[in-house]
Amino acid sequence: MSRVGKLPIPLPKGVEVLVKDSSLTVKGPKGTLARAVPAGIDIDISKEAVVFRRSDDSKQSRSTHGLIRALVHNMVKGVSEGFVKGLEIQGTGYRAEVQGKTLNLNLGYSRPVQFELPEGISASVDKSNAVRLEGIDNEVLGQTAARIRALRPVEPYKGKGIRYTGEQVHRKVGKTGSKK
């Protein structure tokens, strides 16, 4: 039995879980998320918790049991609390600003980079070098943060670029002149 899959998901106040055909919908104060439920997984919904069970012991059912429980747990947390990812921009002249649904980034290129934020993701900028991304879908939020970080990854010699908040970058030592 999956250790993750057998854990019940407690439902906070205001969160409602519905199953229709093979689709699961989670509604909460921050929005609504939906996901397809794989075959072989049974869902028991009560007023205070959601429990996932396998209908058989096939390899496919065993592999998706814990996965679907973790994904639905993230959906419940997203519609009740939301998720936040932070990015730091380091480098001389590097900065960011938000204009509507566009994130304008000056990253040392000849032109500023304009990054369109996907639906459901909002951004705010503190001190022109700290970007805060918020959303209810953890998958979309993580993918958006990774795409922004990939615009200028941190280089190991000077540490310039975009990094996640709290990310440690291993710095390399530069070349040294040899004395003859």
Share of the chain above pLDDT 70, in %: 97
Share of the chain above pLDDT 90, in %: 79
Full-model pTM:
0.88
- Domain boundaries along the sequence of the chain: 9-80, 83-164
Taking only the tens place, the pLDDT of each residue in 23-44 is 999 999 999 999 999 988 999 9
Beta strands per DSSP E along 55-145: 83-90, 95-99, 102-106, 113-116, 121-126, 130-135
Its sign, for the CA torsion 99, 28, 33, 147, is: positive
Q: Is the pLDDT of residue 11 over 90?
A: yes
Taking only the tens place, the pLDDT of each residue in 86-144 is 999 999 999 999 999 999 999 999 999 999 999 999 999 998 899 999 999 999 999 99
Q: What's the mean per-residue pLDDT of the chain?
A: 92
Q: Is the pLDDT of residue 1 over 80?
A: no
Give the DSSP letter of residue 106: E
**CB distance 40 to 2 below 8 Å:** no
pLDDT of 177 reads 73
What is the number of residues in the chain? 180
List the structure tokens of 72.
Answer: 């639905």
Q: How many CB atoms lie within 10 A of CB 133?
A: 21
pLDDT grade, residue 79 (50/70/90)?
very high
Give, in order, the Cα–Cα distances in Å from 109 to each of 113, 115, 126, 133, 156: 8, 14, 22, 23, 18
The answer to whether domain 83-164 has CATH 3.90.930.12 is yes
Q: Give yes or no on whether 9-80 and 83-164 have one common fold.
A: yes
pLDDT of 25 reads 96
pLDDT of 180 reads 63
Tell me which fold the domain 9-80 belongs to: Outer Surface Protein A; domain 3 (3.90.930)
Rounded Cα distance between 18 and 7, Å, is 19
